[in-house]
Structure formats: C-alpha cells, structure tokens
C-alpha cells in the first residue's frame, strides 16, 4: 500500500496504546507539507510520536528516504536520538535552564558537533528567523510568538530530514497567530524534506498544508488537496469543521434517497450508488409558506430548533427531513419573526448541491 | 451558644489592620499556648548553650582539645560522604523514579530504612558486613589485606549509610515530578540517554539536588551512633566533632560547649544558605 520511494516518508503502521488503535497508511513527498487534521483523541499526536520514535509501532513499518525507522516485522527500531527528526511541540518545551542560543544549539551539539560550531550554526538559524536579538535570553523572558519561532529554529537547527509540528500555533493568541502563521508558511516552504503538521484548526491546515489528512478515531477518513477537502468533506466532523451541511444517500440518476430520510433532486450526471452531498448554509432559501415551484429544486418543511448569531448573519438550526443548518440575514429573521419553534419552508437549488461519490477510506482523493 | 464571642471591641487601628488583611488573624488560646511551649522547648537549650559558653577564654579552652583535628575530620568526611552519595545515590534515585523492575517497592523501602533505623543499629550492621569477621570484610582482608573498621574510611561509610537516603528520597521525588516532555524533546534532538540526563534532567532538578545534598551533608556532619560503633573514636583518625563533644562533656564541659557552639554555627550557616536558594526551590520541585 505504502509508496516507499527512495525519498520521502512512508508510513503503513498500526500503533496500539491501551484500548486505542491508530491505523495509518500515509506517504509524504520531500518538500510536501501534509496537514493532519482531526478532533481531540483522534491519534494525531500518537502519529507524530510514532514517527519520532517516542512510541514504537505495534505492527507495520515507517521508512524515511528508503531507510527503515521502525519495522515491527523485522524488529528494526531506530531510537529517537538517531532519527533525523525535527519536532516542534505544542508547548514548545524550550529548556528553561538554557539560553535561546543554547536551546537552538542543543541538537547540533547532541549530534556530536563541537561546541563552537554548534553555537555558530545556532546563531545562523536565529539570524535566519530574525531572532538574533533574543540569543542570550532565557525562554521565560520570551513572548508566545517568540517562543514559537525559537522552537521552530531549534527543530530546524538539527538539519532534520523530517519535520514534525504538533499544533504549532495553538498556544498563541489570535493576533499573534496570524503573523506567526504567515512566517511559518514561508519557512515550511523552504524546508526540503517531508513535513507533517498536526492541527485542529481548519484555517491553519488550509493555509499551511499542501495536502490534508483527516484522522478520526485512529483512522484516516479523508486525504486530499485542501480545496477539495473543504468542498467535499467525507465525514460529519470535516463538514462541521469547514461549515457545510453533509448528507449521505443513494443516488439514482437525478434523485438521491437520503440515508436518514428525505430525497434530493440533483442535476442528472448519471450518478448511481452511495454518494455524499454537501450544501453551504447560505445556499438555502427560508420562507414561511411553500415557495412556488420553479427550476429543479428541493423544497421541504422544517422547524426552527435554534438560532445563533454569527458575525453578520444568523445561523438557523432546522429540524426536518432532512435537518439543515441555514444562514440568513438578521433582517430576514426579523421580517419572518423567526424564533425557536417557528415553522418554515426550506428550498435549495439542485445546482447548489455538491454531489460526490463516497470514496473508500484511506485512499487519497486527489 | 457563644454569644460573648460574637461581638468584640475593635479600635481604629485594629479596624484598619483587619480591613487591610481580611479576617482576623488572632489565634485561639488553645493553639497559642502549646505552640509557644514548643517554640520555647526548641530555643531554650540553644540559649543555654550560648549563655554557658566560655566566651572569654574560648581559644584556651579549645587549645587543650583535639577540636581542630575533629572539625577537619568531620568536614572532610561529611563532604566525602556527600560526594559518594551524589555519585551512587543519584543514579539509584533515577533507577527508582524512571524504571520499573520487580521488587521495586521493596528496594524503595530498603533505601529509606536508614532514615528510621537507629544509627547504632546501622553501625552494628556495617560492622557485621565490613568488620574483620564480617562476610565482606573477611574477603577484603584475605584478598587485599584491607581492613575498614576504625579507619577514616569507616567514618565515611557510616556517614554515607545514614545520610545518603536523604539525598535519594529528595532527588527521587524531584525526578518523579519532573516534566518528561523536556527529556522527550531532547531525545528528538539527537541526545542519547546520558546526554539527556546530563544536560536536561540534572539541570532541571538542580534545586532539589542542592537541597538533597545539603540535607545529606548536614546529616553526615552530625552522625554519631553509626560512626562510633563502626569506626570508634580515635582522635585524629575517627573522632568526629559529635564524638569529640560527647567525650569532652565527661572530662571538660567548657570544651564540650565550645565545640558544640562551633557545630551550631556551621548548622546555622547551612540553614541560611538553604533558606533562599534551595529550600524554596526544592519545595516547589
């Protein structure tokens, strides 16, 4: 299954920890940034730890550039210290007793460079990341954004062949995050090896990653280009993350019988079989009475279960067959005097439905 | 009903103080009285020592004793014992904190046993193991011609036996509560296990290590029972300060008081050095 090219990272492994099983088949090309997205407890951190050698795989193997890092079949296991890995931890883990310079020089020194060469290499990295002024500071005297940059410099200073970032921006406040994010994007694009970036922030994943891998319950549920994942989510979790309604059903030409009740009319492209349909919340038209029939569209009654104020619109949580999340303007809510319990009619054009076949799990979708 | 306690008189000064600090800090008599008794019990003997000290002729009193010799012996044996404890005790603390092996709980109990064991019993045990007729001492004697009891080496061994658990217990606690994330991070940066220990683990537990070493040193300095049992009391050879004080008290009380004062000064110096740098840092671990 895995593509063990001479270059790049190839993972085909299972990791069992207590009752949890991580089961992943994944390959990352050199210079490619793969965003690993998933809810808490999906196994994202476990995946990174297995790659870094902090946890051995239970079965399967991991290779980097054709070199076996871990192979449960043959028993080969490269200790973490011997893996060419740079790891940026969620909490940075900068050594509090060492200066910024010594922190960054740690990997070069541990990899048997002389003290002086290690320091000058570290100073070089600090300069490249615009941190030269901070060299003599202790980590406790750094701001969140500075600490994040130092953590990246420290990971890169070991000249790793594989870069792992565990929620690198999650500890930053919203303002700093955007600055650091654009900088991080630049540095990641300069990194020539494979890179994995774990996050649960879809925006971060969309901005920083060339490709997304979605993990749920220890399994890859979707892989693909960010744009595609954002348009055609494979699971409820991804749909929620990117703010879409998701329906599963069985297509038969121009109609889809939904799994949880209801039917959609879709543009007939000769699709048959199990499909998923994603719908933008803004694609729905909401009215008090049944709208007049016109172009092929789907109309059904629903009841308002809840209203949430978003930035410039109101999201209606609608129960019906099928249920939906629909966005309307505050003015519309006032005009229709919508409140929990209100009966409304929903309409959505067939052309606003994104219909796609349900891809087998774990197969790259691009 | 304790209506009388429900209302009191507050002067303006008390009102201001209470407004500043919150609820009343005055202590009930049933806690205050025993507390003061305890304080007096701890302080009065020391005051007695200071009052009875032969301040006027300290030098002449001490000149008739082996005070300098005994102090020198005490200082270097206690320091050596602490050094030995650091070299072999810290690794044992690491093994207890970071590894899992069968019988670990038993080992931990055995390590802390000298903390509660009467030191004399420790001395007897050392004698039975390393004495001329002891099962190890016999071998040392017949193979290498080495005899340990009643030598300065025996002093160091007795002090290490009694004092090392203080260091081990302190360091093990620090190692257990240390954040393993830093060690993981060091490993991902290519640091082998010894490098991690040397460059990350030890610096990060430095406050506890310091506190443990000072506790160990102080305990070694004050060691009496195990030392006199295993090493005897030959002036200049094995007669440490506490032993010198004990003998002096029988023959020359003034000298005993002077020697005690010296130990008191050393102890206070240790306490002061601990207070700011280590005890506080060590307690937060």
Contact A24, A10 (CB under 8 A): no
Q: A86 — contact with chain B (CB < 8 Å)?
A: yes
Torsions phi, psi for A211 (to 5 deg): -150, 150
Is residue A204 very low, low, confident or very high in pLDDT (cuts 50, 70, 90)? confident
Contact A256, A316 (CB under 8 A): no
Give B-chain residues touching A81 at CB under 8 angstroms.
Answer: 187-193, 195
Residue B39 lies in a domain: no
Closest in A52, A93, A111 to B181, CB measured: A93
The β-bridge relationship of strands A85-88 and A76-77 is unpaired
Tell me how many domains chain B contains. Answer: 1
Give B-chain residues touching A95 at CB under 8 angstroms.
Answer: 182, 185-186, 200, 203-204
Residue to mutate among B178, B182, B188, B206, with most A CBs inside 10 A, is B188
pLDDT, block means (10 residues), chain B with 285 residues: 63 81 76 94 90 80 77 93 96 94 92 92 94 87 87 95 95 92 94 93 92 91 93 89 89 86 86 65 41
Closest in A96, A97, A110 to B189, CB measured: A110
Closest in A81, A85, A91 to B191, CB measured: A81
pLDDT value at position A363? 45
Give B-chain residues touching A107 at CB under 8 angstroms.
Answer: 189-190
Give A-chain residues touching B205 at CB under 8 angstroms.
Answer: none
Cβ distance B203 to A87 less than 8 Å, yes or no, reads no
pLDDT value at position B281? 47
Over range A237-241, report the average pLDDT.
88
Over range A66-78, report the average pLDDT.
93
Give A-chain residues touching B186 at CB under 8 angstroms.
Answer: 95, 106, 110
Torsions phi, psi for A56 (to 5 deg): -75, 150
pLDDT value at position A358? 80
Residue B16 lies in a domain: no
pLDDT value at position A241? 85
Closest CA to B158 of B78, B41, B68: B78
- Which of the pair, A327 or B59, is modelled with greater confidence? A327
User: What CATH number is associated with residue B78?
Assistant: 1.10.3720.10
Q: What is the pLDDT of residues A266-281, one digit of tens each?
A: 888 888 889 999 999 9
Mean pLDDT, chain A, rounded, equals 89
Distance from CA of B282 to the nearest CA of A (A): 15
Integer Cα distance of A246 and A226 in angstroms:
17
Q: A128 — contact with chain B (CB < 8 Å)?
A: no
Residue B4 lies in a domain: no
Over range A9-13, report the average pLDDT.
94
Is residue A43 very low, low, confident or very high in pLDDT (cuts 50, 70, 90)? very high
Q: A80 — contact with chain B (CB < 8 Å)?
A: yes
Whether the complex's predicted ipTM is more than 0.90 is answered with no
- Which of the pair, A297 or B3, is modelled with greater confidence? A297
Spatial neighbors of B13 by CB under 8 A, at least 6 apart, are none
Q: What is the pLDDT of residues B7-57, one digit of tens each?
A: 778 888 878 877 877 766 678 889 999 999 999 999 999 898 888 888 877
Is residue A294 very low, low, confident or very high in pLDDT (cuts 50, 70, 90)? low
pLDDT value at position B48? 87
Integer Cα distance of B248 and B228 in angstroms:
15
Residue B49 lies in a domain: no
Least confident of A35-39, A302-306, B232-236: B232-236
Give B-chain residues touching A82 at CB under 8 angstroms.
Answer: 190
pLDDT value at position B64? 67
Closest in A52, A95, A96 to B188, CB measured: A52
Domain hosting residue B140, numbered range = 54-284
Integer Cα distance of B199 and B190 in angstroms:
12
Cβ distance A86 to B188 less than 8 Å, yes or no, reads yes
pLDDT value at position A34? 95
pLDDT value at position B78? 95
Is residue A359 very low, low, confident or very high in pLDDT (cuts 50, 70, 90)? low
Give the rounded distance of the alpha carbon of A280 from its chain centre: 20
Token pair listed for A58: 């239970």
Contact A3, A27 (CB under 8 A): yes
Q: Is the pLDDT of residue A86 over 80?
A: yes
Cβ distance A154 to B195 less than 8 Å, yes or no, reads no
Give A-chain residues touching B188 at CB under 8 angstroms.
Answer: 52-54, 80-81, 83, 85-87
CA dihedral for B217, B221, B225, B230, sign (positive or negative): positive
Distance from CA of B188 to the nearest CA of A (A): 5
Instruction: Give the class (CATH, top level) of A244-357.
Output: mainly beta
Least confident of A157-166, A287-296, B106-115: A287-296
Q: A20 — contact with chain B (CB < 8 Å)?
A: no
Cβ count near A11 (within 10 Å): 23
Give the rounded distance of the alpha carbon of A189 from its chain centre: 17
Cβ distance B206 to A97 less than 8 Å, yes or no, reads yes
Over range A240-267, report the average pLDDT.
89
Nearest residue on chain A to B182, judged by CA atoms? A93
Contact A220, A13 (CB under 8 A): no
Q: Which CATH superfamily is domain A9-238 in?
A: P-loop containing nucleotide triphosphate hydrolases (3.40.50.300)
Cβ distance B190 to A97 less than 8 Å, yes or no, reads no
Residues 275-314 of A with CB under 8 A from B: none
Over range A4-31, report the average pLDDT.
88
Query: Are A9-238 and A244-357 the same fold in CATH?
Result: no
User: What are the residues of chain B with a beta carbon less than 8 Å away from any beta carbon of chain A?
Assistant: 181-182, 184-193, 195, 199-200, 203-204, 206
Domain boundaries along the sequence of chain A? 9-238, 244-357
The alpha-helical segments, DSSP class H, found in chain B are: 3-6, 12-21, 29-52, 58-63, 67-84, 90-98, 104-116, 119-130, 137-144, 152-177, 180-188, 193-196, 202-204, 206-221, 225-230, 241-251, 253-274, 280-284
Residue B197 lies in a domain: yes
Distance from CA of A53 to the nearest CA of B (A): 8
């Amino acid at each position: 299954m895995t593509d063990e090219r001479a270059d790049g990272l190839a993972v085909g492994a299972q990791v069992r920890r207590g009752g949890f099983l991580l089961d992943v088949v994944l390959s990352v090309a050199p210079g490619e940034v793969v965003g690993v997205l998933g809810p808490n407890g999906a196994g994202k951190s476990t995946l990174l730890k297995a790659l870094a050698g902090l946890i051995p795989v239970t079965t399967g193997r991991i290779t980097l550039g054709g070199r076996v890092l871990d192979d449960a079949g043959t028993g080969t296991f490269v200790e973490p210290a011997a893996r060419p890995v740079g790891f940026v931890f969620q909490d940075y883990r900068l050594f509090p007793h060492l200066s910024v310079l010594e922190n960054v020089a740690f990997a070069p020194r541990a990899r048997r460079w002389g003290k002086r060469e290690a320091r000058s290499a570290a100073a070089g990295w600090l300069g490249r990341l615009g941190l030269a002024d901070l060299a003599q500071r202790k980590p406790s005297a750094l701001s969140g954004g500075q600490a994040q940059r130092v953590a990246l410099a420290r990971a890169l200073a070991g000249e790793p062949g594989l870069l792992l970032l565990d929620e690198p921006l999650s500890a930053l406040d919203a303002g700093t995050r955007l600055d650091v994010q654009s900088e991080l994007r630049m540095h990641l694009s300069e990194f020539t090896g494979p890179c994995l970036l774990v996050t649960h922030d879809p925006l971060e994943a969309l901005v920083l990653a060339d490709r997304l891998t979605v993990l749920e319950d220890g399994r890859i549920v979707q892989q693909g280009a960010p744009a595609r994942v954002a348009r055609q989510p494979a699971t409820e979790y991804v749909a929620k993350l990117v703010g879409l309604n998701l329906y599963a059903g069985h297509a038969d030409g121009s109609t889809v019988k939904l799994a949880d009740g209801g039917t959609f009319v879709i543009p007939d492209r000769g699709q048959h079989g199990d499909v998923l349909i994603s719908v933008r919340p803004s694609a729905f038209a909401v009215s008090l009475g049944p709208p007049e029939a016109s172009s092929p569209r789907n109309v059904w009654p629903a009841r308002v279960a809840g209203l949430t104020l978003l930035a410039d619109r109101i999201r209606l949580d609608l129960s019906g067959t099928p249920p939906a999340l629909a966005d309307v303007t505050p003015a519309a809510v006032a005009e229709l005097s919508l409140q929990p319990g209100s009966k409304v009619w929903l309409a959505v054009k067939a052309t606003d439905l994104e219909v796609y076949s349900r891809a087998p799990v774990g197969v790259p979708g691009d | 009903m304790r209506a009388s306690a429900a209302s009191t008189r507050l002067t303006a000064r008390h009102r201001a103080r209470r407004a500043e600090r919150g609820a009343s800090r005055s202590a009930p008599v049933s806690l205050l009285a025993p507390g003061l008794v305890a304080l007096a019990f701890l302080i009065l003997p020391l005051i007695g020592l200071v009052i009875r000290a032969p301040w006027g002729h300290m030098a002449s009193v001490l000149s008739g004793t082996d005070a300098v010799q005994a102090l020198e012996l005490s200082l270097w044996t206690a320091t050596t014992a602490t050094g030995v404890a650091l070299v072999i005790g810290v690794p044992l603390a690491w093994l207890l904190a970071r590894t899992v092996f069968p019988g670990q709980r038993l080992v931990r109990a055995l390590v802390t046993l000298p903390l509660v064991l009467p030191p004399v019993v420790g001395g007897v045990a050392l004698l039975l193991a390393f004495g001329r007729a002891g099962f190890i001492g016999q071998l040392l004697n017949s193979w290498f011609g080495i005899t340990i009891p009643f030598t300065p080496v025996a002093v160091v061994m007795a002090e290490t036996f009694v004092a090392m658990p203080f260091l081990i217990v302190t360091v093990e606690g620090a190692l257990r509560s240390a954040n393993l994330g830093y060690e993981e991070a060091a490993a991902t940066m290519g640091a082998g296990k010894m490098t991690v220990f040397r460059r990350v683990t030890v610096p990060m537990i430095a406050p506890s290590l310091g506190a443990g070493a000072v506790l160990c040193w102080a305990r070694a300095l004050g060691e009496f029972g195990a030392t006199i049992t295993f090493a005897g009391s030959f002036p200049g050879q094995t007669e440490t300060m506490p032993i010198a004080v004990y003998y002096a008290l029988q023959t020359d009380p003034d000298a005993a008081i002077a020697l005690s004062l010296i130990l008191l000064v050393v102890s206070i110096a240790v306490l002061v050095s601990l207070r700011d740098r280590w005890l506080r840092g060590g307690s937060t671990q």
